[in-house]
Each structure stands twice: as structure tokens, then as C-alpha cells.
Structure 1
Amino acid sequence: MHHRIRPIRTAAVALSTAALGVGVLTAPPASAEPSPALRAAKAAVNTDSTPSTIAADWITGELTNGLMVTSGKPDFGLTLDTGLGLASVPGHEAGVAAINAAFEPRVNEYVGDGTKESYAGPLGKAAAFSRAAGENPIDYNGTNLITRLEERTADVPADPAAEPQAAAFAGRIFDKSESGNYANVIGQSYAVRALARAGSTEAVAARDFLLKQQCASGYFRLNFAKANVPNQSCTEGEAGSEADPDATALAVINLIESRDTSQVVKDALAKAGAWLADRQRNSGAIRSSGADAQINTNTTALGGYAMGLLKQDEEALKAGLWVRKNQPVDKYKCRTALTKDTGAVAFRKDRSKAAKAGGIPADGRDEWRRATAQAILGLQFAPASKDRFRIESVRDQARAGERVQFRVYGLAPGESACMQVKGDFRRVKGKTKGTKIVRKLLLPTGNQRRVGLVKTSDDEARTWIRVRN
């Protein structure tokens, strides 16, 4: 895996554990395993680790005693999204462990008590997180998440011909709840991942039902058909079978992480990857679906990460770059009200623009957390610079009050930085093509050597110029 060469190392990695001051610190789990699929996907592409690292640092600092809290209550779903995101970033094992320590004793609050209440999708996601944390989903705080999930997965009938409707939804997950059944395709994909990794005898049926939710064009829909409907498959053009890029991306991610290498899965992944690439805009962004469909970092990050795992490198890098452009980094002389939240990712560009003046509003912080938790994944494929990070002055000396050109090299595409000399500064952003950025800075008074700086979120480079009055 390649990262940009950095001549100066600063505190970005150290923040990974320091930011946990509000959480519960425990030793990192010895058996936690980074995703082999992610490692393999990144081995052949030149990516920059900085944006995912600073996003992980920021969101770790948003934990309260190891949990995400929304409206005064633990938000277990967002907590697990955060944990799965952190598990993808080297150096953040302590954050995953803090989440695990807080979540494990309360797992039944999320998945149900196993008697009156038992929720299939959360069982699958909890099992996925437990593995990422180095725990055993068969005994997670005394709960066998896999057995519980198998109970919520429809069995294959002994005689499918005699029970055609039972055969039609074999492998489908169902919630058991007094509030109703809210299981959907995203939950199904987590269930497939959990059952397959556990070697469950119900894994194949669950996988086959998930694949029924893929339409002919390659996308996955979000919701199942009603249980009494004979056709349980996605049928393009019919109500209820609309394309959903988030469900598609998560189906791809979880199928890959299920480690099912069967031809039927390979074919499904190829079709889904092609559909995601076709939906992606030239900018790298991906629009969500539904009545309020919009371009946003959540959908783009999930789609980009899915395409990255599929080794669709160009598309993944484009998505990672677009997400990075929505990660404001305004530091040093370029400070804004967002500086204290460096690393956070905005859901949309307009959110970032508004927050530069007044900071992240209290009632908008939850949105930034949700955006960042998933953005971490897409940022894994943010492209790196092909050049060495440095700043140069075009002149050795100049007079006070002159505007002199400085050249910056080696900023990664979309990376924010601040160029400065005493009394003047300019915000700059890494180019998509080429690495040289040229800006003029106003020289201060005083007969002395002055330093020209360029500072990023976690690094700096400097040069010198002689100033004469």
C-alpha cells in the first residue's frame, strides 16, 4: 500500500488514542483482523491515508463512553457503523475496543431480548462488528448471535414443490417484534455476511434470497416484497423494485466480506459493480435514491468503497476524491469555525459552507457523525500525490510589501492546505491533475529571513526568503 511521502510527521496518528479521552479505553483486541479484501484492493492503488485517519480521529472523539449518543440516548446502529469504519483504519484499534467494551454488555438492547423481540438485521450487523472487534459472535456477552439469526431466517421447506410460497422466501430474514417486521435488503446483506462467516447451514439460502433482490440491471432494491406475494424477486420497472445505490453498495460490501467465492456471487458482484460505475457522475459523486434523492457523501462513500473492494480502481479513486473535497480542513492562519472539527465530513457541500462561519450546529451534529462514519470507508480510496510534499519560493530575496510567488508541490488531489508567510495566507487545494500550485503572498516589513510555510491537516513544509525594507 502506498502513501504520500511526508518529510515531517505530526500528531495525526497520536490523536487516534488521545481522542478517546471521553470513551472507555481497553486494550486493543489481539485477534481483530483488518479486512483481507480491503488490503488486497488497496495493494495496487496509490492512496493517501490522511483523510481516513483524520476522519477516524474526529469520530472517535465524538464517542461518549464508547457509544454514539443521539438525542440523549445511545444510538447503537450509528455506534456500529462507527466501529466498522474505525476497524478499516490502521491505528484505531483502541477506538474499536472502546466501542466493543461499551456495546457488548448492552447488545440485547440493539438486537432484542430473544423472546418477544429479536431483530434480524441488527443481529447480522452486531455479528459483523463482533468479528471486526476480534470477538466471537457465537458467544457475545453470552448471546449466540448466529443461532438467534438462524431463528430469524426462513427455512428451506422439505418439499419445495408442495410448499411453493415457503420455498419462495426461503432464506429471507424476518424480525420478531410487537412493533412489526422491518427487515430489509440491507439487513439481509449483513445476515448473509454473518451466517457465511460462521459456516451456518442457512448461509446459502440467505445468500440466494439476497441475490433475488438484485434486478436485471445489476442494482439491489431496498425493501422485500410482502411475504404473501408469490414473486419474491426484484422485478425491474415494478413498484417496490426501484434502484437503491446504498442497498446495492452494502450488498456488494457484505457479499465480499462473506468470503463466498461461488460463481453466482462473482456474477452478481460484477453486475452490481457495473451498475454503480454507470450511476457515478464524472465528478465521482453518486446520487441517492427515493423522493429526496440527492448527491451526498454517504452514498458516494459507500459506492466508492464497494467499487474499491471490486478493484474498480478508477471509479473508487474518483469517489474517494469527491468525498475528500467535502472534508473541510482549515487550519493555522486559515482557521474557520470548523477548525476544531478537522476530519469531519459534511453530508453535502452546503453544510460545510454554512458551518465555516458558525461551526457545526448542535442540531446538525448527528448528520455530520453519520456522514463521517460511512465516509471513512470511501476515503480509504482517496488518491495520493505522485510528488514529494514541499514549498519553494521563486525568488531568494525581495522587498517588503512585494507579492512574491510561492510554489507548492505534493498535495494530494482534493487535499486542503494553508500557504502562509507572516501577515498573509492563502487557502489551497490539491489538484486532480498535476501537482504544482502557485500563489502570491505579501511579504511583511523587516530586514530578515522569513519562512514560507504550507500546512496540511497533519504535516508542514517550509522554505525561506530574504526580505529587505
Structure 2
Amino acid sequence: MHQFIRISAVALSSAALATGLLVAPSASADPSPALRSAKAAASTDSTPSTIAAEWLAGELTNGLIVTGQGPDFGLTIDTGMALSTVASQGANVTAINTALEARIADYVGDGTKESYAGSLGKAAVFARVAKKNPTSYGGVNLITRLEERTADVPADPAAEPQAAAFAGRIFDKSEFGNFANVVGQAYAVRALSLASSAEAGAARDFLLKQQCASGYFRLNFDKANVPSQSCTEGVAGSEADPDATSLAVINLIESGDKSPAVTAALAKAGTWLAARQRNSGAIRGGAGTEQINTNSTALGGFAMGLLKNRDAALKAALWVRKNQPVDKYKCRTALTKDTGAVAYRKEKATEAATTGIPAAGRDEWRRATAQAVLGLQFAPASKDKLKIVSVKREARAGDRVQFRVFGLAPSESACMQVKGDFLRIKGKKSGDKIVRKLQLPTGNQRRVALVKTSDDEARTSLRVRN
């Protein structure tokens, strides 16, 4: 679960949150043209991404995601980017933008002693998503600052081979060290390209050098004195990183760059991601995240969806949706109050069903859900209208009667119930009917059997006699 990690004196000492966050007029969330195009020919279910977004929006404090160390601006931007893909979340995107703009120096640096390249790129991308001007964002020209942190192409590359090798590469200016990496480079390419910056081409070319022959992108750059500055398969420092690969794909597509070099790089990366995907739909992470998880799976699925590999995107969304507990109604658990949240791994959801999401683990759920909203954009829709049917019109009290449920979307959670008995069910990958039995209660009367999802319900009834 990669993130920009930046702890500065300013960030640590700033406890007060911005006020008046809803003064700006709210805008409708507006999925990008690339996402709209990718989903145009697919029949998708908006429910899982919508309820995930609703939960995530509920985690905001005055427009920011706040941890024990204070506001997490990087995760706040991830949250804003995720919410921007869900039509009902425009007001929350506006709230995030207002809060972030007021505190932008805390995230990108003061521009003199501290200037963080990856943060500048990511903030500039979010500014555009929020329909703001990145050249005047909270009084900061994010593009100019980013250009300052992007290595120039030397006037005579032959005379300066090392400078030519890292031309276009982003660098931090900081007393804490240089933490710029390939993820930040991908955001920088998108921000500079959309701004029609003269630095965009060099930044793009350097990003493409971080792609290895197999198609994946590595996470970290070489040291500045290494001659090649390129990903070299099989060499330490050039290990495959699925998250970096997915984010490179997403940002290159959203940059609008349709050059032959980018088109070829996207095709290779898409092939590599699809080969990395397991039959279950899950994608294993890179170093430090080797286990299969919703973060890597959702990012990979979203990237492949934007590449219009809809089968791979659908499979990824199904696996992510399985890790989104929807324990409501008779099937309620300790997670019911957090309906919509997505667990990083399955065992986390199992644990939390009994204990709830622990305070110390809440940050992990937020990070997983911010990425899951993206992957869930490609969750397949149900074949039919939700319906429950009993195989009998009448039965004795205590009998276990068979019920058939139609219209559950693949991997969708639901609760079947009749007075005194209930079952948790999940939609089949095929979308076909679910067949389960419920035990009938005592009493000579007509009883109602229900099936309830997070946003719908259906019912039937049958006569019960003692």
C-alpha cells in the first residue's frame, strides 16, 4: 500500500484544521472522459463504489483525513480522487479541495527550503480533478514549482551524459532527504502534460525508462550518479511493483498523451498486469505487500479497466467486492455501522465482524477503501430484478423450506430472513439464482420471507401451520 510519506516540522506542529470548508459552491463529481469511455460498453453496478464512497466521506474531518499525527494530506487527496468518480460525492470533493487549498504548503513544502516533487504532482492532479487552477492553488503555482523540481534536458546531452540520463526526473528539495519515486513521477507527468508544460516530454520519457522489458514499472529510481537511470530486469532496485505499474498506467492514460511510445508502454504494462492477475481476480502486491490484497487488486483492476480490458477489470472488482462487508438487517455484526468500508485483506474483515474496526487499524481500512472505490467502478451489474421465491406456498412450523433468490449482482452481499432465522448470502459470479433454506417459525399464520441488499429488498410469503 504505497503512499507519500513526509513528516515535516510544519505538518507535525499544525493541529488546527481549516474552518469554513463549505463556503465554496459544491460541484458535481465528474468521472474523467477516460473512465466514462471505459465504462460505456459495460453493464456495471454502482452500489459497491457508492457505499464505499459514502463510508469514506464519513471519515473526513472538516474535509481532511486526520490521523493521530494530524491531517494526512496524501490520503486526503486519494480520498478526493476516489470520490470524484462517484456522482453523488461532488460536495465532499469540494470540501476536500477547500481544506487542502488552505493548507497546501503543509503538503508540498514552502517552496524555498522544502519542496516535494511527488506531492506537487499529486496536488496539481487533484486540483484539476476538483476543477481548480493548479497554477494558482492556495496562492501557489504548483506547475512552476513542479517544473523547478524536474531535471532539465542539458543544452548539449553528449557533453553532459549524466545530466542527460536523468533529464525529466523529479527530485525533492528537503532537509529530510529525497523521497521522490516512480509513483510521484507518474503524477508529475500527468500534471505537466495537462498544463502543456515544456517539461512534460522529458518527464514522460524518464517515466517510460522506469518500465522494464516485461512491462512492469519499478517503484524507486536509481541513485543520481548511476549512468543508465533505466529499469533493468533482474538487477537489484528494478523489482516489479504492481502498484507503481497500475498508477503509471492510470496517470499516463489520464495525461492524454497518445504518442507511440506511451501507447506501446501502456500495452506492455496492461499485458503484464493481466498476467499477474490470479484466477480469483486478485493481484499480489510488490515488495512489502507480497500477499494478495484489495489495494493492489483495485488499482490493477482500475488500470486494466481504463485500458478496456473489461474481463480483467470485472474479475478484480468481484474479488474486491468480496472484501466489502455488508452485514445489515438480521445479519448485522460489529461492522454494520461501517457498511461500505473495504478490508485490505479477508482476515481483517473476519476479525472486525466481531470486534469492529479497531482505532489503530482504521487508517488501513481508509487506504484500502480509497483504492477500492476505483476498482469497484467495474463491478458487474445483476442480470435481473431482485426477487425471492419460496418453493412451497405452505409448510409446517420448524420445516426448513427452500427459497430461491434472483437478481443478486456477482459477489453482492445480501441477507435472507424470515422470523427467527436468517442467512448471509453472496451473489454468484455467474449472476445465477441462489438457493438456500430457512427454518420456519411457530404459529399458524402467513409469514414474510425477505432478501435485503444494501440498497434494495424483495419479499414473498407462505402459510405456516403448527
Q: How would you bin the TM-score normalised by the shorter chain?
A: over 0.9
Q: Confirm or deny that 1:135 pairs with 2:143.
A: no
Structure 1 CA distance for aligned equivalents of residues 150 and 26 of structure 2: 30
Q: Confirm or deny that 1:38 pairs with 2:7.
A: no
Structure 2 CA distance for aligned equivalents of residues 47 and 213 of structure 1: 34
Question: 1:23 touches 1:66 (CA, 8 Å); kept in 2?
Answer: no
Task: Give the 3-state SS of the residue equivalent to 1:92 in structure 2.
Answer: helix
The code of the aligned residue for 2:199 comes to: E
Alpha-carbon distance change, 392 to 32 in structure 1, aligned in 2, over 3 angstroms: closer
Task: Give the 3-state SS of the residue equivalent to 1:126 in structure 2.
Answer: helix
Structure 2 CA distance for aligned equivalents of residues 233 and 136 of structure 1: 33
Q: 1:445 aligns with which of 442, 446, 453?
A: 442
Task: Give the 3-state SS of the residue equivalent to 1:109 in structure 2.
Answer: helix
Q: 1:370 aligns with which of 344, 367, 370?
A: 367
Alpha-carbon distance change, 26 to 457 in structure 1, aligned in 2, over 3 angstroms: farther
Name the counterpart of 2:163. 166
Task: Give the 3-state SS of the residue equivalent to 2:88 in structure 1.
Answer: coil
Between Structure 1 and Structure 2, how many residues are aligned?
Answer: 448
Alpha-carbon distance change, 292 to 130 in structure 1, aligned in 2, over 3 angstroms: closer
Task: Give the 3-state SS of the residue equivalent to 2:405 in structure 1.
Answer: strand
Question: 2:27 touches 2:94 (CA, 8 Å); kept in 1?
Answer: no
Name the counterpart of 2:141. 144
Task: Give the 3-state SS of the residue equivalent to 2:103 in structure 1.
Answer: helix
Task: Give the 3-state SS of the residue equivalent to 2:185 in structure 1.
Answer: helix
Structure 2 CA distance for aligned equivalents of residues 217 and 288 of structure 1: 16
Alpha-carbon distance change, 173 to 278 in structure 1, aligned in 2, over 3 angstroms: same
Task: Give the 3-state SS of the residue equivalent to 2:326 in structure 1.
Answer: coil
Structure 2 CA distance for aligned equivalents of residues 279 and 23 of structure 1: 46
Task: Give the 3-state SS of the residue equivalent to 1:88 in structure 2.
Answer: coil
Cα deviations across residues 214-248 of structure 1 (Å, max 9, x unaligned)? 00000000001111111111111111101000000
Q: 1:200 aligns with which of 177, 180, 197?
A: 197
Q: 1:422 aligns with which of 386, 399, 419?
A: 419
Structure 1 CA distance for aligned equivalents of residues 291 and 424 of structure 2: 28
Structure 2 CA distance for aligned equivalents of residues 75 and 405 of structure 1: 50
Question: 2:210 touches 2:218 (CA, 8 Å); kept in 1?
Answer: yes
Q: 1:274 aligns with which of 271, 274, 278?
A: 271
Name the counterpart of 1:404. 401
Question: 1:26 touches 1:97 (CA, 8 Å); kept in 2?
Answer: no
Task: Give the 3-state SS of the residue equivalent to 2:247 in structure 1.
Answer: helix
Cα deviations across residues 262-318 of structure 1 (Å, max 9, x unaligned)? 111110000000000001100000011115511100000000000000000110000
Q: 1:360 aligns with which of 330, 352, 357?
A: 357
The code of the aligned residue for 2:322 comes to: K
Name the counterpart of 1:251. 248
Displacement of 1:26: 4.9
Task: Give the 3-state SS of the residue equivalent to 1:147 in structure 2.
Answer: helix
Question: 2:84 touches 2:129 (CA, 8 Å); kept in 1?
Answer: yes
Q: CA RMSD in A?
A: 1.4
Alpha-carbon distance change, 393 to 87 in structure 1, aligned in 2, over 3 angstroms: same
Alpha-carbon distance change, 321 to 85 in structure 1, aligned in 2, over 3 angstroms: same
Question: 2:28 touches 2:87 (CA, 8 Å); kept in 1?
Answer: no
Structure 2 CA distance for aligned equivalents of residues 386 and 460 of structure 1: 16
Name the counterpart of 2:297. 300
Displacement of 1:385: 1.5
Name the counterpart of 2:98. 101
Q: Confirm or deny that 1:325 pairs with 2:322.
A: yes
Structure 1 CA distance for aligned equivalents of residues 300 and 428 of structure 2: 23
**Aligned pairs (5 A) from 1:22-37:** 24-26=21-23, 29-30=26-27, 33-37=30-34
Name the counterpart of 2:6. none
Name the counterpart of 1:90. 87
The code of the aligned residue for 2:375 comes to: G
In structure 1, runs of 5+ residues without a counterpart are: 1-21
Q: Confirm or deny that 1:79 pairs with 2:101.
A: no
Question: 2:410 touches 2:429 (CA, 8 Å); kept in 1?
Answer: yes
Q: Confirm or deny that 1:50 pairs with 2:47.
A: yes
Displacement of 1:465: 1.3
Cα deviations across residues 10-41 of structure 1 (Å, max 9, x unaligned)? xxxxxxxxxxxx99445654486421100000
The code of the aligned residue for 1:85 comes to: A
Q: 2:217 aligns with which of 216, 220, 230?
A: 220
Name the counterpart of 2:5. none
Structure 2 CA distance for aligned equivalents of residues 23 and 363 of structure 1: 29
Displacement of 1:47: 1.2
TM normalised by structure 2 equals: 0.94
In structure 2, runs of 5+ residues without a counterpart are: 1-18
Q: Confirm or deny that 1:389 pairs with 2:386.
A: yes
Task: Give the 3-state SS of the residue equivalent to 2:398 in structure 1.
Answer: coil
Structure 2 CA distance for aligned equivalents of residues 121 and 249 of structure 1: 16
Q: Confirm or deny that 1:458 pairs with 2:459.
A: no
TM normalised by structure 1 equals: 0.93
Structure 2 CA distance for aligned equivalents of residues 116 and 222 of structure 1: 26
The code of the aligned residue for 1:42 comes to: K
4+ aligned runs moved over 6 Å, structure 1: none
